[in-house]
Amino acid sequence: MSDKLCKNNHKDNSKNDSSWLNVAYVQLDATGSLAAITEAGIKALDIVVLAFADTTSADINPSHLKAMQDIINKENPDTINLLSIGGETVISIPDPALVISNISSQITEYNNQLKNGKITGVDLDLENGIDVTTITKLAQGFKEKGYIVSAAPQIYTSGSDIDIHVPVNLVFSSGGANNNYGIAIEHGYVDYILAQTYNTGGFKIGGYEENQVEFFYAVSQALNSVAVRLKKIPDLTKIVIGEPANQGAGGNYTIFNPYALPPVVRYDHAAILAQLLELKNSILKTVKTSKESLVL
């Protein structure tokens, strides 16, 4: 998977809609992308995921601290800030207990120095096939320390299509056809599922492929069925559906480029976002159960 600079932070006037969350990943060392995010865009967010922390050290990163403070200066006081670990370059976590200790120390020190805001949770963006035991230990460990925990699995299947009504072959993957996030989610260690709907390809959900905008809607219905019908997502867990903010953040195979291979094509960003908004409104009208699909 591609390292994410920022997931789609498209916003409308639904900030006060309790069934709608707005979340963005911001990569703290991607200074150009950070500079492109407007103050209005940051204020529109409910959750900011700050990526990525160094899991091998208990020390904070001074340049990350500055970027965090710049973001906090622009966000609303009730915004939730999460520190993310993982990303494209992390291929293994040899000692989950040490990672929990290191990241907890970092959060404590960041919070000692940050003004007008703080970090209250940890995001697990673990790729490259990180195993189920490691992911579960990390999620449980951070949860038991009192942190909010989010996870960013890929939606995947070993089959050719996922039935949105009975999605028995849908898995929460860390890369490949595995369900390595599944146990952590089922046991209630994950507060927010930040589902990645890009950069995988090769299968359909409800008849749609991930380079079609309708895939967004199909994923929401499938995840709602996982929660309500299959009972594999706890009632208190929030579901966020992620789209890349730009093609570079999510690879070639996205709704912003209908082709899996180069050449890169231009896309009509405004038209795609308008279609996403239409689908989002349709989702909110059709989900009538106790578990609502929360989208970004």
Q: What is the residue extent of each domain of the chain?
A: 23-286
Q: Assess whether the previous peptide bond of 52 is cis (omega < 30° from 0).
A: yes
Q: The dihedral of CA 135, 194, 15, 35: what is its sign?
A: positive
Closest CA to 245 of 18, 19, 38: 38
pTM: predicted TM-score of the whole model, two decimal places: 0.87
Closest CA to 7 of 252, 250, 262: 250
Dist. CA 117–CA 163, nearest whole Å: 42
Cα 53–63–43 angle (5° rounding)?
Answer: 80
8 A C-beta contact, residue 265 and residue 259: yes
Q: Which residues contact 286 (CB under 8 A, 6 or more apart)?
A: 221
The strand ranges marked E within 17-108 are 23-27, 47-51, 80-87
> How much is the pLDDT for 7?
37
Record the tokens describing residue 182, joined without a space: 């599944």
Record the tokens describing residue 198, joined without a space: 């890009």
CA distances from 73 to 11, 165, 235, 288 (A): 20, 43, 33, 38
Per-residue pLDDT of the chain (296 residues; tens, 9 = 90+): 333 333 333 333 334 444 688 999 999 998 888 888 999 999 999 999 999 999 999 999 999 999 999 999 999 999 999 999 999 889 999 999 999 999 999 999 999 999 999 999 999 999 999 999 999 999 999 999 999 999 999 999 988 899 999 999 999 999 989 999 999 999 999 999 999 888 787 899 999 988 888 988 899 999 999 999 999 999 999 999 988 776 666 665 677 765 555 565 667 778 888 888 888 888 777 654 434 443 33
> How much is the pLDDT for 5?
32
166 — phi, psi (to 5°)? -135, 75
Record the tokens describing residue 271, joined without a space: 């038209």
* CATH entry 3.10.20.30 includes domain 23-286: no
8 A C-beta contact, residue 211 and residue 257: yes
